Structure 1
Amino acid sequence: MNMRRRTLIGRLAAAGAAGMLGSALAAPGPAQAAAWRKRLTGADLDTNRRWQVAGTDLGIPYVLENGSIGYLFGDTFNTPWPEGPPLPNDWRSPVMLRSNIHPGAPGGVVFDSAARVAGNGRAPELMHNGHHGIGIDGLPEVTVIPNDGISFPETGRQLISYMSIENWNSAGPAGPDWKSRYAGLAYSDNGNDFVRTPLKWWNTADNKDPFQMWTMQRDGEYVYVFSVRSGRQHGPMMLRRVRWDRLFYPESYEGWGWNGANWGWGRPCTPILTGRFGEPSVRRLADGTWVMSYLNCATGCIVTRTATGPDRVWTAEKIQVTSWQEPGLYGGFVHPWSSRAANDLHLLVSKWTRTPDGRSTAYHVSQFAGSV
C-alpha cells in the first residue's frame, strides 16, 4: 500500500469559521484496539466452497431493498490470492455476498447467499469488467472496483458507485497506489444484475480529482456523498448531497462549501477534511449518530470520527485497528447495523500482505468490533 510513517497533517479550508466541520489537525484519540471477531473470506472457508470466493477484499456492507445486507467485494479469485496458483484463477469484480445475520450475533457475520446465484454455485461479477482490456464504454480498463452501495425501498432499485481503474501504480513507490479513469454509477432493479450507466465523474490527468472514491448515505430525501481522490493519496475530502431520486442527474448535486463567511449548500465544494485517506465509509446509525471510517494512510491505522449530522462538526480521529493487529490492512467499512453500544461498531477490514519480492501471503476480509 506504499504507506509512509508520518504524522497526519490536515486542515479545513476555513479553520475557525462558524459552522465548520471537524479539523484533521486535532490529535487522534488513543488506540482502542478493536477486537478481531472472525475472518470472513478465504480459500479454506465456505465462501470458497459455496461460491468460489476465496481471495477477495473490501466487503462493503450496505442495506438492500429487502432489509438484509449486501457485501460488495473487489477483485475476487478462487485461489487464496490474486497471483494463484493455479492460473487462471477466475478473476471477478465486483462480487456480492449477502447475509441477514446481525454482525453482533455470537457467530458474527454469516453469509447466506450470493448475488446472481440460486443457492450454491460460482458467484459471478455483478457488471461488465474490462479485465485489462476494453471497458463497456470502449475505453481501456484494468478492473472495476466498488466504492459503496445504496438501495431505495420506494422503487426496489439498488445503486453501486464504482471506479474504472486505469492503472494500479500511477506514480511509483512514493506516490498513490492507483489511478482511476472515472467514477461511475450502476443500478439494478432485480438485486442481481447491475447495469453501468453512461454517467462518469472523470478523473484528472494528474490523478487529483476529489470525487473518485465515494461513500453514500441516505437521510430523508437526500443522499449524502463523501468522496476523496483515488489511490489513497493526500488530498481533500468533499461532501455533496442530492435528492435520492436525482442521483442520475449530475446537475442536481449540491456542494457543501465555505463562502468566506459561513458554510452552506449549493456552493462549490470546500474540503471538509484534508489528509491521506483510504477508502471512506460513512453510515448513519439508528440513533442518528453519523460514523465515518477510513484508513489513515499516514499512520497505517483504521480510524473513525463521529458527528451529529453529515454537515456538522466531526470529532477527532479515534484509532480502531492498527497495523500491528492486522498487517497490510485497508478498508474498514462500517456495518450499517452497528450502534453506539460498547463493542457494537462493526468494521469490515481487508488484509493483503506480501513478501519483499511481492508474493502474496494473505488476501482476505475480516470482521472487527470496536466502539464509537
Structure 2
Amino acid sequence: MKAVFSLLLSSTLVSAGASVYKKRVTGEDLDTGHRWHVAGTDLGIPYVLENGSIGFLFGDTFGTQWPDDGIEWRSPVMLRSAVHPGEEDGIIFDSAAGVAGDGLAPEIMHNGHTGSDGAGATEYSVIPNDGISFPETGEQFVSYMSIQDWTAPWKTNYAGLARSTDGNTFTRLDTKWQNNPENTDPFQMWTLQRDGDYVYAFSVRSGRQPGPMMLQRVPWQKIADQSAYEGWGWNGTTWAWGREPSAILEGNFGEPSVRKLSGGTWAMVYLNLDTLSIVSRTAKGPDEVWSDEKVQVTFEEEPNLYGGFIHPWSTSEENDLHIMVSKWTRDDAGRSTAYHVSQYVGTL
C-alpha cells in the first residue's frame, strides 16, 4: 500500500483556489461502494472511451473506505459514466469494467501485489497513469506504473502500456520505459492526448519529485511501438521534433494531466509539491509555450490532496474545468480518516 507523503500546512499557502468543491464521487456509502465495492480509492483519471463515454481509472482500491484494512485490494479499476460532469448532480457512474451489472469491480490488468510483475520484476502494485482509445480500431490503451516500493519518494520499476480490445481486460505489453537505479527517469508518470495523427505523451519522474517534464509524440497507430516515439527537443537555438526530449517545464510535479479541450485550448493540471496546490496551465498546442500556473485547489481546502485529473468534457469556450481530486488523511495514530475522490469545478 502506498505511503502517504507528509505535508505540513504552511501559512504561506493561499486559502482558496479557482475551483470549488462539487461532490465526493467515491465511498463506501455511495453507489461505487454498494454496487462495485469501490469504497476506498484514489485518482479517478477520466478519458474518452472508443464508444464516446468516459472511463475513470482508479488506483489502489479497497472494499471498505479504509485502505489500512487491505480488504479486496486491487488496482487498476475502471468505472464508467456517460453523464456530463456539468449536470446538476455531477459525475454519476453507470458501470464498471469487467462486471456485467453489479458486483466487485476487478482489476483490469495483472498486478503483482508484492509478488511478480510476470516478467521478472518484484512488483508491489500497478497504478494507472492515463488512458486513451481509438474508435477506428476499437482499441484502448492504459499507461501504468509498475510500483517497486511505496517508500517516499516512491519508486517504479518502469512505466508501461496495456492494451484492450473489449474495454474490460487489458494485456500488459512489452512496451516499457525502465526507471533507473537513482529513481530519476523522467518518463514514469504519463498523460496522453491525441491530436490528429499523433498521440502526445507528457511525462515526469515517479514519486512526486522535483525534475523536468518531457514531451514525446507517436503516430497513434504505432503507440505500442517504442521506436516510433520522437522527442520535442531544444538544441540551444531552436525546438524541433525528432530530437532527444528536453525539459518543457521544471518543477516539483505530481501526476500530470493534459487534455485538448473543445475550442482548441490545451489544459494541464498537476499537484505542485512546492505550494501543495492543484494548479493548471494552458497552451495553444502541446509544443507551444505554457502559461503560468493558476491555483485550482489548495491544501487548506482539501488536506493531503493529490491528483488533479481533467475531465475531457471540460470546455474552453464556456471556461469550465472539471477535475478529479484525491484526498488521503490520517489521524495521529496513523489510521486513515479519509481516502476518496472528489469532483471540483474551476475556470481556466
Q: TM-score when scaled to structure 1?
A: 0.90
Alpha-carbon distance in structure 2 between the residues aligned to 1:45 and 1:54: 8
SS in 1 for 2:190: strand
What is residue 6 of structure 2 aligned with on the other side? 2
What is residue 279 of structure 1 aligned with on the other side? 255
Q: 1:156 aligns with which of 138, 146, 150?
A: 138
Within 5 Å, which residues of 2 pair with 1:183-198? 183-198=159-174
Alpha-carbon distance in structure 2 between the residues aligned to 1:265 and 1:356: 50
Superimposed CA distance per residue, residues 90-111 of structure 1 (whole angstroms, 9 cap, x where no aligned partner):
0000000000000000100000
Within 5 Å, which residues of 2 pair with 1:273-312? 273-312=249-288
Work out whether 1:120 is the aligned partner of 2:94.
no
The alignment's C-alpha RMSD in Å is 1.8
SS in 1 for 2:175: coil
Q: 1:71 aligns with which of 45, 52, 56?
A: 56
Residues 42 and 61, structure 2, Cα contact 8 Å, conserved in 1: yes
Instruction: Quote the sequence identity (%).
Output: 63
What is residue 307 of structure 2 aligned with on the other side? 331
Alpha-carbon distance in structure 2 between the residues aligned to 1:119 and 1:293: 33
Name the amino acid aligned to 2:237: A
Alpha-carbon distance in structure 1 between the residues aligned to 2:108 and 2:303: 29
Alpha-carbon distance in structure 2 between the residues aligned to 1:3 and 1:242: 37
Q: 1:200 aligns with which of 176, 180, 186?
A: 176
How many Å apart are 1:30 and its aligned residue?
10
Aligned residues: 344
How many Å apart are 1:143 and its aligned residue?
0.2
Residues 29 and 318, structure 1, Cα contact 8 Å, conserved in 2: no
How many Å apart are 1:286 and its aligned residue?
1.0
Name the amino acid aligned to 2:235: N
Name the amino acid aligned to 1:359: R
Alpha-carbon distance in structure 1 between the residues aligned to 2:169 and 2:295: 37
Residues 115 and 126, structure 1, Cα contact 8 Å, conserved in 2: yes
How many Å apart are 1:4 and its aligned residue?
6.5
Residues 264 and 316, structure 2, Cα contact 8 Å, conserved in 1: no
Work out whether 1:54 is the aligned partner of 2:39.
yes
SS in 1 for 2:291: coil
How many Å apart are 1:138 and its aligned residue?
2.6
Work out whether 1:213 is the aligned partner of 2:189.
yes
How many Å apart are 1:340 and its aligned residue?
2.2
What is residue 94 of structure 1 aligned with on the other side? 76
Q: Say which structure is richer in strand.
A: 2
Superimposed CA distance per residue, residues 138-160 of structure 1 (whole angstroms, 9 cap, x where no aligned partner):
32100000000000000000000
| Cα 1:262/1:4, change in 2 over 3 Å | farther
Residues 59 and 75, structure 2, Cα contact 8 Å, conserved in 1: yes
What is residue 251 of structure 1 aligned with on the other side? 227
Superimposed CA distance per residue, residues 22-80 of structure 1 (whole angstroms, 9 cap, x where no aligned partner):
xxxxxx99954311000000111111100000000000000000000000000000011
SS in 2 for 1:48: helix
Q: 1:315 aligns with which of 277, 291, 308?
A: 291
Alpha-carbon distance in structure 2 between the residues aligned to 1:224 and 1:213: 14
Within 5 Å, which residues of 2 pair with 1:108-187? 108-170=90-152, 176=153, 178-187=154-163
Name the amino acid aligned to 1:275: G
Residues 214 and 247, structure 2, Cα contact 8 Å, conserved in 1: yes
Alpha-carbon distance in structure 2 between the residues aligned to 1:81 and 1:144: 19
Tell me which moved more, 254-263 or 31-40: 31-40
How many Å apart are 1:341 and its aligned residue?
4.9
Name the amino acid aligned to 1:93: S
Alpha-carbon distance in structure 2 between the residues aligned to 1:256 and 1:29: 34
Residues 17 and 298, structure 2, Cα contact 8 Å, conserved in 1: no
Alpha-carbon distance in structure 2 between the residues aligned to 1:137 and 1:82: 27
| Cα 1:30/1:44, change in 2 over 3 Å | closer
Alpha-carbon distance in structure 1 between the residues aligned to 2:323 and 2:60: 19
Alpha-carbon distance in structure 1 between the residues aligned to 2:319 and 2:239: 34
SS in 1 for 2:32: helix
Work out whether 1:368 is the aligned partner of 2:344.
yes
Question: Structure 2 regions of 5+ residues with no counterpart?
Answer: none
SS in 1 for 2:181: coil
Q: TM-score when scaled to structure 2?
A: 0.96
Name the amino acid aligned to 2:323: L
Name the amino acid aligned to 2:222: R
What is residue 44 of structure 1 aligned with on the other side? 29
Name the amino acid aligned to 2:110: H
Name the amino acid aligned to 2:122: P
Alpha-carbon distance in structure 2 between the residues aligned to 1:30 and 1:37: 18
The higher-RCO structure (CA 8 Å, 6+ apart) is 1
Superimposed CA distance per residue, residues 160-198 of structure 1 (whole angstroms, 9 cap, x where no aligned partner):
00000000015xxxxx2x101100000000000100012
Residues 157 and 187, structure 1, Cα contact 8 Å, conserved in 2: yes
Name the amino acid aligned to 2:145: M
SS in 2 for 1:118: coil
